[in-house]
């Protein structure tokens, strides 16, 4: 064969693979509002940066015909100039179904990502296991789950759900750090048909496992957007906050926003009346460089806010109570959400900023019976375990165990800042008086008057930041508008912080 003929063969073979499932199926993919596997990669990565590997891999099943590219495109490229490994399932080829060699391709890029220390992004659009390949497909899932787990905490792993992701396939995203969904994304363990046959429940795919369900109800997904392009924008923005691996720091942005900037909004954002709510997000935004806050899991457990900001160009993970939702109470979902975020930040060396205004853990039989104790314990565990710089601002209420759980000095906060509006105490005034002065009030000539008096006395004595500061549990009490300055100065000093823990295989976090 001549050289020209050999090159022609390569071109012909490659063209066939690049065409995916063929014109008809590609048209169908576009009609359903979805891009093809390769279009997605090009839309996500820096232009022209993608290098595909394993283009010519094929399955080994005698029962299957030709499947160009094995139904998944894998390789590497850059986002904002930073190396990324990724896989993108091709729904136009056998429904993106996952067979033995399809999984092998994914496993290979995951191994490479882990070896070089670059983030891994998996774009999911697949009907599930390739049934014709039987147990070989199942093994493929296992190979991926195992790699997801081993890479966890070493490189950021992002799952992008742009089509179906059903059955066992959901466990790969579930292990990864962040899940993004487009409008066409669906995730469920068993589909509507199986559910109907087993439990009789009738449910649509959208309600069962669509983006609203997973971002607002189940909490499985972290971000959702109507279009794929918007999803890709969110991914690029998120990556700008994250390091490429656990040994490198997050990218440091040039910061033109002065540390001394004071925001008037902070002066009076906390209402004088402790019973009035306010929006904690206003405080986060005011403190952040250029008022840029990327919230994570915005619509799930809204009583607890998590997300990323920068302080003087450095990425900081924020965990905050939201007094506007459920009075800022901590509950099962809020604790889970915050605890996982804290551990993710700690794994990747991202400093933590906690904003505390919580009246306590949510009382109720349902919370107790559903395990608030072990779920709340996760947050205490996560903060105690974290060795990154930890800063806490108490804006108003810091009561009881919930105050301790919100990264208090006691569990390892490096810089505790309180505002003059802070009330740090074992419990609220009314509750405390009911216990402490129960007898005196009962026997008083005018119980109501004595109760009011006792409450006022308690508030005077305990509902302030000075009791805690007197014992060193608060390092700095400051005017709210100076908080940004103190946080940035503090963060700068804490960057070289070293904290060691006893050698162990791993702790036993209450899951």
Partner 1 sequence: MKKYNVVVNGETFTVEVEEVGGAATSVASAPKAAPAPAAAAPAPAPKAAPAPAAAPAVTADGCKIESPLPGTILKINVTMGQAIKAGDVLLILEAMKMENEIVAPQDGSVKAISVAAGKTVQAGDVLLVI
Residues carrying an active site annotation: 167-168, 401-402
Q: Measured from the CB atom, is 164 or 334 closer to partner 1?
A: 334
Task: Give the angle 237-239-240 at the CA atoms, nearest 5°.
Answer: 65
> What is the nearest approach in angstroms of partner 1 to the Cβ of residue 432?
12
**Residue 205 C-beta: closest distance to partner 1, Å:** 17
Q: Where are the beta strands (DSSP E) in 80-118?
A: 82-89
Give dist(CA 19, CA 8) in Å, integer.
Answer: 16
Query: CB-wise, 157 or 213, nearer to partner 1?
Result: 213
To the nearest whole angstrom, how small is the minimum distance from the Cβ of residue 501 to partner 1? 36
CA gap 291, 280 in Å, rounded: 14
Measure the CA–CA gap between 87 and 124, rounded to whole angstroms. 8
The minimum distance between CB 324 and partner 1, in angstroms, equals 7
Three-state DSSP at 265 gives helix
Q: How far is the CB of 359 from partner 1 (least distance, A)?
A: 5
Instruction: Find out whether 467 and 424 touch, Cβ atoms under 8 Å.
Output: yes
Tell me how far, at minimum, the Cβ of 320 lies from partner 1, in Å.
16
Pairing status of strand 352-358 against strand 186-188: unpaired
Select 155 or 326, whichever has its Cβ closest to partner 1.
326
Measured from the CB atom, the residue of 317 and 428 that comes closer to partner 1 is 428
> H or E stretch including 307?
strand 304-311
What's the CA gap between 107 and 150, in Å, rounded?
12
SS3 annotation, 390-455: EEEEEEEEEEHHHHHHCCCHHHCCCEEEECCCCEEECCCHHHHHHHHCHHHHHHCCCHHHHHHHHH
Q: Which is nearer to partner 1, 276 or 504 (CB)?
A: 276
Closest CA to 159 of 183, 178, 131, 139: 178
Residue 361: strand pairing partners: 330
Q: Would you state the structure tokens that stand for residue 144, as one six-digit string?
A: 């991926």
CB 43 within 8 A of CB 35: yes
Grouping H, G, I as helix, E, B as strand and the rest as coil, residue 430 is helix
The β-bridge partners of 358 are 398
Name the residue nearer to partner 1 (CB basis): 186 or 415. 186
Q: How many residues does the chain have?
A: 511
Nearest CA among 39, 316, 348, 340 for reference residue 179 = 340
CA 292 to chain centre: 17
Q: How far is the CB of 187 from partner 1 (least distance, A)?
A: 16
- Of the two residues 57 and 216, which places its CB atom closer to partner 1 in the complex? 216
* DSSP string of 275-291, one letter each residue: T----HHHHHHHHSGGG
Compute the least distance from the CB of residue 323 to partner 1, in Å: 7
Binding site for partner 1 (CB under 8 A): 198-201, 216-217, 274-277, 323-329, 359-360, 362-364, 366, 428, 430
Rounded distance, CA 171 to CA 164, Å? 13
Is the Cβ of residue 2 or residue 197 nearer to partner 1 in the bound state? 197
């Amino acid at each position: 064969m001549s050289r020209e003929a050999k090159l022609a063969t390569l071109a012909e073979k490659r063209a066939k693979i690049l065409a995916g499932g063929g014109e008809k199926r590609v048209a169908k993919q576009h009609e359903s509002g979805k891009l093809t596997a390769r279009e997605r990669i090009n839309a996500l990565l820096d232009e022209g940066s993608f290098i595909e590997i394993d283009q010519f891999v094929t399955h080994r099943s005698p029962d299957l015909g030709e499947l160009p590219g094995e139904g998944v495109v894998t390789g590497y490229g850059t986002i904002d100039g930073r190396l990324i490994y990724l896989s993108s399932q091709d729904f136009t080829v056998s429904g993106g179904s996952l067979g033995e060699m399809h999984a092998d391709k994914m496993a290979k890029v995951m191994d490479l990502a882990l070896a070089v220390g670059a983030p891994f992004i998996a774009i999911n659009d697949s009907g599930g296991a390739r049934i014709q390949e039987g147990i070989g497909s199942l093994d493929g899932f296992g190979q991926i789950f195992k790699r997801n787990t081993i890479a966890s905490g070493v490189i950021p792993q992002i799952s992008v759900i742009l089509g179906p992701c059903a059955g066992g396939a959901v466990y790969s995203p579930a292990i990864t750090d962040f899940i993004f969904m487009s409008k066409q994304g669906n995730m469920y363990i068993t589909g509507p048909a199986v559910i109907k046959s087993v439990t009789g429940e009738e449910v649509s795919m959208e309600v069962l496992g669509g983006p609203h369900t997973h971002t607002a109800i189940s909490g499985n997904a972290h971000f959702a957007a109507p279009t794929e392009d918007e999803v890709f924008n969110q991914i690029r923005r998120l990556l700008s906050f994250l390091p490429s691996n656990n040994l490198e720091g997050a990218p440091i942005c040039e910061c033109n926003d002065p540390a001394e900037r004071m925001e008037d909004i902070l002066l009076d954002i906390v209402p004088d009346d402790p019973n009035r709510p306010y929006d904690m997000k206003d405080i986060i935004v005011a403190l952040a460089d250029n008022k840029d806050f990327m919230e994570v899991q915005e619509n799930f457990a809204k009583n607890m806010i998590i997300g990323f900001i920068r302080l003087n160009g450095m990425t900081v993970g924020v965990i905050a109570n939201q007094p506007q939702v459920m009075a800022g109470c901590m509950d099962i979902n809020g604790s889970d959400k915050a605890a996982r975020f804290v551990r993710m930040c700690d794994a990747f060396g991202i400093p933590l900023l906690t904003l505390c205004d919580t009246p306590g853990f949510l009382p109720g039989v349902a919370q107790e019976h559903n395990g608030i104790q072990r779920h709340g314990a996760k947050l205490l565990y996560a903060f105690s375990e974290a060795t990154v710089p930890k800063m806490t601002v108490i804006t108003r209420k810091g009561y009881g165990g919930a105050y301790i759980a919100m990264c208090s000095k006691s569990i390892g906060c490096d810089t505790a800042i309180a505002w003059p509006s802070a009330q740090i105490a074992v419990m609220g005034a009314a509750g405390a008086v009911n216990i402490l002065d129960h007898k005196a009030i009962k026997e008083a000539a005018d119980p109501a008057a004595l109760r009011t008096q006792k409450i006022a006395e308690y508030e005077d004595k305990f509902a302030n930041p000075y009791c805690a500061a007197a014992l060193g549990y608060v390092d700095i009490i400051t005017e709210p508008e100076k908080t940004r300055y103190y946080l940035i100065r503090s963060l700068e000093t804490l960057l070289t912080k070293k904290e060691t823990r006893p050698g162990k295989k791993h702790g036993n976090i209450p899951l």
